């Protein structure tokens, strides 16, 4: 099997059922299985997002892809770094045929570019990919608010890019909420290493971009942060990145997806670390302890009047878990959800020949919506089929039924295409 050709065939067909059928038909191919595992596992990193210039081997003596996969060990374990790592990767790529070298590029960049995620792979090979753990907040529901124990904590809801700073063995790496490496080119790393000390741990928070003392708007800031997610950010832009943090979890418990330490203790540990080390570019999230829901609502309204997005209400007894938590609840002035792009439409009139709209669905396919608003002229000119199967953040007014009786959204507007997320929201989480 030519694995590069196989992956390209998956990328060319937007149907999720087609991808699943093809993977099932080739589930006994051990090399394909290993390629997918190496590319999708968030806990296997190679720290070389940029592919060096190389000349693939076009002779009959090219090494096999299977024989060269073990050579990735030195990159994964950081036995070679810097220029030595670049040289090592170049030698690997130049030993392979053009097609196999392209597969190796996909592995190194942690992106199969085939339109399926770890959850799809795990449907074919159960447990193949250790999916990246993340604790999410629950959208507002009165029945959940009624179960919050007071006093509780209200925190300002940030409007940047969710991230983890993972400190292990005195080294720091940054990951997005789907486990992809965020390259900040040395910015912020030492701050987190100093705070962690000798403890392997994971800091949870949000990245923002600042110009002077002003936080850039979401579209501009996340445009810069998406470059960090792709490994193309410049030194100058990386230096503008700041971090706001709100949680800390021991690494070993983060990996298992469960930490029973109450949030009050985790937050106190985090606050003490920041107070002791006083990092220049890492901030503690704005917070207030409230005695009842009325006090929380007053703060929520005040933040909205200031142009902020909203608040997170957190139960101080809440544990950390790899799921949508019922002890942390979002209060937002506008509704927002993340949907999968399943198709595109060409524009008409002045947008003829350009992107007109995207067709989106919830993870379970229950909610379907056409989104034609919110795109810039540059996006309409430059975006095409490559965005199919990506996740789009959508702002909307309310959930409705369309003329065909299907679940949809009223007045949908695209906010951004998210490179930091691979799974859409389910209909049960969209209000």
Angle between helices 98-108 and 3-12 (to 10 degrees): 60
Instruction: Report the candidate in 356, 303, 355, 348 with the shortest Cα–Cα distance to residue 330.
Output: 303
Rounded to the nearest 10°, the torsion over CA 340, 345, 348, 354 is: 80
Residues in contact with 256: Cβ distance below 8 Å, sequence separation at least 6, in sequence order:
none
Strand residues in 180-301 grouped as ranges (E): 181-182, 201-211, 214-215, 241-250, 258-259, 282-284, 287-290
Q: Dihedral of CA 242/164/202/311: which sign? A: positive
How many other β-carbons are positioned within 10 Å of the β-carbon of residue 247?
A: 20
Q: Which of 350, 356, 359, 346 is nearest to 389 (CA)?
A: 359
DSSP characters for 189-205? HHHHHHHHTT--EEEEE
| Residue 401 a catalytic site member | no
Half-sphere CA count of 263, side-chain side, radius 13 A: 25
Closest CA to 43 of 157, 153, 133: 133
Catalytic residue among 157, 180, 395, 421: 157
Active-site residue numbers?
157
């Amino acid at each position: 099997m030519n694995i590069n050709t196989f992956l390209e065939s998956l990328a060319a067909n937007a149907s999720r059922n087609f991808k699943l059928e093809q993977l099932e038909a080739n589930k006994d191919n051990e090399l394909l299985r290993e390629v997918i595992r190496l590319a999708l596992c968030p806990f296997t990193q190679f720290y070389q997002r940029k592919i060096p210039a190389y000349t693939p081997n076009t002779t009959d003596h090219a090494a096999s892809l299977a024989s060269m996969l073990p050579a990735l060990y030195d990159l994964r374990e950081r036995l070679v770094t810097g220029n030595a790592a670049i040289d090592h990767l170049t030698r690997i790529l130049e030993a392979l045929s053009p097609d196999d070298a392209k597969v190796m590029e996909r592995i190194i960049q942690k992106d199969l570019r085939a339109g399926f995620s770890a959850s799809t792979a795990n449907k074919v090979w159960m447990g193949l990919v250790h999916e990246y753990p993340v604790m999410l907040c629950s959208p507002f529901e009165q029945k959940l608010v009624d179960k919050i124990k007071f006093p509780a904590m209200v925190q300002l809801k940030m409007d940047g890019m969710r991230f983890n700073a993972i400190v292990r063995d005195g080294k720091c790496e940054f990951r997005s909420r789907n486990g992809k490496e965020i390259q900040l080119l040395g910015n912020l790393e030492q701050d987190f290493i100093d705070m962690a000390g000798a403890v392997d741990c994971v800091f949870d928070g949000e990245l923002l971009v600042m110009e002077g003392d002003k936080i850039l708007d979401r579209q501009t800031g996340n445009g810069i942060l998406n470059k960090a997610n792709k490994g193309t950010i410049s030194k100058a832009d990386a230096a503008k990145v700041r971090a706001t943090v709100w949680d800390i979890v021991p690494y070993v418990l983060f990996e298992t997806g469960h930490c029973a330490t109450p949030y009050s203790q985790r937050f106190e540990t985090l606050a003490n670390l920041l107070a002791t080390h006083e990092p220049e570019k890492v901030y503690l999230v704005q917070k207030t302890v409230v005695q009842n829901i009325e006090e929380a609502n007053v703060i929520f309204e005040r933040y909205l009047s200031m142009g902020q997005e909203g608040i997170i209400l957190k139960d101080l007894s809440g544990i950390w878990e790899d799921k949508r938590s019922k002890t942390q609840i979002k209060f937002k002035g506008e509704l927002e959800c993340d949907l999968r792009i399943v198709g595109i439409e060409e524009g008409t009139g002045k947008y003829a020949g350009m992107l007109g709209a995207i067709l989106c669905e919830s993870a379970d396919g229950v909610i379907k919506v056409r989104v034609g608003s919110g795109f810039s002229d540059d996006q309409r000119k430059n975006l095409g089929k490559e965005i199919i199967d990506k996740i789009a953040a959508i702002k909307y007014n309310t959930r409705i039924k369309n003329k065909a009786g299907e679940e949809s959204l009223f007045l949908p507007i695209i906010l951004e295409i998210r490179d930091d997320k691979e799974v859409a929201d389910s209909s049960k989480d969209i209000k």
